[in-house]
């Protein structure tokens, strides 16, 4: 029996000690306070004292001595082991921040400064410390000569040309404009031939239309004379009057003026003149005099239109720099020939442009090429005109294809074999004191005689810079509201290492966008911008990479860091990824334009690179979105998006809470409303407060009927079944431990789990404590220990959990006040609303004052002056839920009875 009692007593003492130990540890006093060692010693001293007091009651002194010795030896061993363990634990805990700092400095220095690891002691231009000879004969590549030969071959390689589509389009537009001008002039001149070629040959029609006025008048006179000779002296009018009557239909004739004596011109020697007279005379003989008169009138009208066309042609030649229509070839062509000419010009131009016109092509070669093409497509009579047209518009349409030319040059250079030089055994590579040349260093490299070393000085400088940057980050961290844990610092380090890690691998499209998006989403814009701002200059100075690419990536990271935490859904983050992609591509393109590299023949390369940077930003944003849920769980993070997801009432745990404990669920919703309103006014994390409040009472599902809000007016099991305040208190306290078990089972974040124990703190379960005291007064053998009726804690460690504790404590009081207020009569002097408001504010202030005086809020960060503000906020929310209603008149029972 004695041993059984002793074991029971020992178990109770260990349980009590463990609770106190957990309480101190949760408060942070065990690991952080300098009094931690004295606290543990005090606990051990109390434990041993109680054991000795228990043993002193034993009747058997020998047994007591044996037990004392045994307990003393066990206590010494336990004390020694626990002290060693606690000292080690304290040291590790105190030094973990320095450990993370050392890891960060070493890892960042190691990744960023990787080029400082394997530097040679012997360098080009430095004097040799000693004479070095070749240990054996070998053939070694002279890289300088090899590079020179390859450069020469690369420069002499043929350029790759490509067609300039824009130039082709411009040439075709200019050509079409010239042809349109020709069509307009020909439209003024009218159709040609203007008469039937079978009757009047085209050559004759061309002559009649284009000859000058004097020649035309002579021709008319000749036709008239021929007619008079045939009639031989008939009594008709004179030759001049007949000539006038024949020419009368011609509208271009002028009124007769005073005759002047001019030398007559003899056109009879002209073949075209005599041929035209003969053709007209033949036409008169074959038809009639009337038809000849009509033909002459038609010729006169055609001549007039021809004169207008030539005038317009002269005007066009003065306007356009290319005098392609300076000769009358345009008007001499028939309509059929002109159509064939236009088609032939287009076909010839298309073939010439397809073959390409390079820059610097000699003019005679281009003329020969044009003539050769026109022979196949254009009538011979129109070839001079077509040649002028093409030569006026054709320009070089081939430009250098930079990428293909570079690849062609690289292939040509790759085909050049390396230049090998033979170095014989014992040959002096470099003499002592002589400056080392590039060739000397190559030979030493081949024989592995170059002494390599780590540039410790450079690494130390880099490590110092990184340590300063980390110090700035720590300073910024301590001045923001978000307190980082060690795991958070480790995540920041891993994300930061991803950027220089990919750069050292030779990939320009680094994880800037993912870095900014994740840091901004997890820790807010301040820390995200700090990391990007510190990393950018370090990488720009240390690493050999494109500064434009570095700036473009950092721009996307800055945008992601600044905006990410404001978003409340994955869809919005996806849109932010698109914005980051456009930002990175735009910054790259704008910087290239500003430095003048986006013009000329390389513009398409710059545009392509800008597109690649945009795609890389989008790709890394997608990767960040995919990793975000996993990182949130692995590193126990809470983001606004995750909190919104946890607050979804369709979550399994919340659906169970609403189904199994409907009263608790309604209580939870009202508490959440109160706490949200207070958190918003006090500038706390509203999303965290709402999500934490929804889960703070999930432990009540282990015994729903043990809590009055779920009894729905039924019997209270504490009064009817249990009738033991100690057991009832255990049931009430168990909703905290069971809630933590459920929260861990469902992998809720630690920040959410903290609401479960901290919303009760170490408060006293007053109702059952009072029952126990009454029972102890009736039965003196019963002792009441306050610890049995207090929650295990810890007390609230943040403003958010402190607000939820206050809201949870005030919710029941507000409900009871509303129930009591609803029964008051309407005819009282003061309205129900006024009385309830005053009562509510007084009651809540008393509750909050009690919590403050019970030291439940000392670690929460809430201030004493904020208590009255919180009470007023709770009352305002309560009034919105329970607003005043209209008092309807009651029906008289007597009337009802009389009617029945």
pLDDT at 477 over 60: yes
Contacts of 740 (CB under 8 A, 6+ apart): 699, 753, 756, 757
Compute the radius of gyration of the chain from its Cα atoms. 53
pLDDT tens digits, 208-218: 888 888 888 88
Alpha-carbon distances, residue 81 vs 17, 77, 85, 554 (angstroms): 16, 6, 6, 53
pLDDT 10s digits, 287-338: 888 888 888 888 889 889 888 888 888 877 666 655 677 656 788 888 888 8
Rounded Cα gap, residues 321 and 659, in angstroms = 92
Residue 248 has pLDDT above 70, yes or no: no
Q: What percent of the chain has pLDDT over 90?
A: 9
Residue 447 pLDDT level (bands cut at 50, 70, 90): confident
487 has pLDDT over 70: yes
| Per-residue confidence (pLDDT) for residue 243, from 0 to 100 | 39
Q: How confident is the model at residue 392 (pLDDT cuts 50, 70, 90)?
A: confident
Answer whether residue 378 shows pLDDT above 70.
Answer: yes
Whole-number pLDDT of residue 343: 92
133 φ/ψ angles, rounded to the nearest 5 degrees: -115, 160
- Residue 896 pLDDT more than 70? no
Helix, strand, or coil (residue 744):
helix
| Confidence tier at 63 by pLDDT (50, 70, 90) | very low
Cα separation, 277 vs 279, in Å, equals 5
* Maximum mean pLDDT: which of 92-106, 232-246, 823-837: 92-106
Q: Give 41's pLDDT tier (boundaries 50, 70, 90).
A: low
pLDDT of 803: 93
Vertex 237 angle, CA 236 and 240, to 5°: 145
Own/partner pairs, 590-595, CB within 8 angstroms, 24+ separation: 591/548, 591/551, 591/552, 592/548, 595/548
Does the reported pTM lie above 0.75?
A: no
Burial of 519 (0-12, 13-18, 19+ CB in 10 A): buried
- Kindly tell me if the per-residue pLDDT of 76 is higher than 50: no
Statement: residue 56 has pLDDT above 50 = no
| pLDDT tier, 6 (very low <50, low <70, confident <90, very high otherwise) | low
pLDDT confidence of residue 582: 92
Give the mean pLDDT of 339-349: 89
């Amino acid at each position: 029996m004695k041993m059984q009692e002793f074991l029971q007593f020992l178990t109770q003492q260990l349980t009590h000690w463990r609770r106190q130990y957990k309480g101190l540890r949760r408060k942070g006093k065990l690991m952080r306070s300098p009094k931690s060692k004295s606290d543990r010693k005090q606990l051990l001293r109390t434990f041993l004292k109680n054991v000795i007091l228990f043993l002193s009651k034993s009747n058997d002194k020998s047994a007591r001595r044996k037990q004392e010795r045994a307990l003393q030896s066990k206590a010494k061993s336990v004390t020694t082991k626990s002290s060693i363990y606690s000292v080690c634990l304290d040291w590790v805990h105190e030094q973990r921040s320095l450990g993370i700092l050392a890891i960060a400095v070493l890892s960042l220095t190691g990744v960023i400064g990787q080029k400082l690891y394997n530097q040679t002691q012997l360098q080009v231009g430095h004097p040799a410390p000693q004479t070095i000879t070749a240990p054996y004969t070998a053939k070694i590549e002279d890289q300088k000569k090899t590079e020179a030969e390859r450069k020469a071959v690369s420069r002499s390689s043929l350029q790759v040309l490509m067609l300039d589509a824009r130039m082709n389009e411009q040439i075709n537009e200019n050509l079409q404009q010239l042809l349109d001008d020709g069509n307009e002039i020909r439209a003024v001149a009218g159709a040609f031939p203007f008469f039937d070629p079978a009757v009047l040959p085209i050559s004759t029609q061309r002559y009649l239309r284009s000859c000058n006025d004097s020649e035309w008048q002579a021709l008319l006179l000749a036709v008239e004379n021929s007619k008079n000779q045939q009639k031989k002296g008939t009594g008709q009018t004179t030759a001049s009057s007949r000539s006038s009557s024949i020419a009368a239909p011609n509208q271009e004739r002028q009124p007769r003026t005073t005759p002047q004596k001019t030398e007559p011109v003899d056109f009879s020697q002209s073949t075209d003149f005599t041929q035209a007279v003969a053709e007209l005379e033949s036409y008169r003989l074959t038809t009639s005099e009337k038809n000849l008169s009509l033909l002459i009138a038609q010729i006169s009208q055609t001549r007039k239109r021809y004169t207008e066309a030539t005038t317009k042609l002269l005007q066009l030649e003065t306007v356009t720099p290319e005098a392609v229509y300076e000769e009358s070839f345009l008007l001499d062509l028939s309509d059929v020939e002109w159509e064939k000419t236009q088609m032939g010009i287009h076909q010839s131009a298309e073939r010439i442009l397809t073959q390409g016109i390079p820059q610097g092509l000699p003019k005679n070669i281009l003329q020969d090429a044009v003539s050769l093409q026109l022979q196949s497509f254009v009538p011979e009579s129109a070839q001079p005109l077509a040649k002028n047209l093409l030569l006026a518009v054709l320009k070089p349409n081939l430009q250098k294809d930079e990428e293909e030319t570079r690849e062609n040059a690289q292939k040509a250079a790759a085909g050049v074999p390396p230049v090998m030089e033979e170095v014989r055994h014992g040959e002096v590579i470099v003499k002592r004191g002589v400056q080392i040349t590039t060739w000397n260093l190559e030979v030493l490299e081949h024989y592995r005689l170059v002494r390599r070393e780590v540039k410790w000085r450079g690494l130390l400088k880099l490590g110092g810079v990184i340590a300063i940057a980390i110090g700035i980050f720590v300073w910024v961290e301590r001045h923001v509201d978000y307190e980082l844990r060690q795991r958070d610092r480790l995540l920041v380090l891993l994300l930061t290492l991803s950027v220089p890690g990919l750069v050292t691998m030779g990939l320009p499209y680094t994880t800037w966008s993912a870095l900014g998006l994740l840091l901004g989403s997890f820790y807010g814009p301040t820390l995200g911008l700090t990391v990007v701002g510190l990393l950018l200059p370090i990488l720009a100075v240390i690493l050999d990479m494109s500064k434009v690419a570095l700036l473009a990536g950092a721009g996307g990271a800055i945008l992601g860091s600044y905006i990410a935490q404001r978003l409340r859904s994955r869809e919005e983050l996806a849109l932010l990824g698109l914005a980051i992609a456009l930002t990175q591509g735009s910054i790259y393109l704008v910087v290239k334009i500003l430095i003048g590299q986006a013009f000329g023949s390389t513009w398409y390369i710059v545009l392509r690179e800008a597109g690649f940077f945009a795609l890389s930003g989008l790709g890394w944003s997608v990767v960040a979105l995919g990793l975000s849920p996993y990182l949130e769980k692995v590193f126990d993070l809470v983001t606004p998006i995750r909190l919104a997801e946890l607050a979804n009432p369709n979550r399994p745990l919340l659906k169970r809470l609403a189904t199994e404990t409907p009263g608790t669920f309604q209580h939870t919703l009202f508490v959440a409303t109160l706490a949200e309103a207070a958190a918003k006014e006090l500038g706390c994390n509203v999303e965290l407060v709402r999500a934490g409040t929804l889960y703070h009472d999930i432990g009540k599902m282990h015994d729903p009927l043990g809590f009055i809000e779920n009894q729905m007016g039924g019997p209270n099991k504490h009064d009817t079944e249990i009738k033991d305040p100690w057991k009832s208190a255990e049931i009430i306290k168990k909703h905290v431990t069971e809630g933590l078990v459920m929260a861990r089972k469902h992998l809720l974040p630690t920040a959410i789990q903290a609401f479960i124990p901290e919303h009760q703190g170490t408060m006293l379960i007053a109702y059952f404590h009072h029952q126990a005291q009454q029972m102890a007064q009736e039965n003196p053998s019963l002792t009441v220990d306050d610890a049995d009726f207090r929650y295990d804690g810890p007390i609230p460690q943040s403003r958010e959990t402190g607000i939820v504790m206050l809201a949870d404590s005030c919710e029941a009081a507000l409900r009871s006040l509303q129930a009591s207020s609803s029964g008051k009569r309407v005819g009282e002097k003061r309205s129900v609303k006024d009385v309830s408001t005053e009562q509510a504010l007084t009651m809540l202030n008393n509750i909050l004052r009690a919590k403050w005086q019970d030291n439940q809020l000392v670690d929460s960060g809430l201030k004493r002056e904020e208590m009255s503000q919180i009470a007023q906020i709770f009352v305002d929310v309560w009034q919105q839920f329970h607003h005043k209603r209209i008092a309807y008149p009651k029906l008289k029972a007597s009337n009802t009875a009389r009617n029945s």
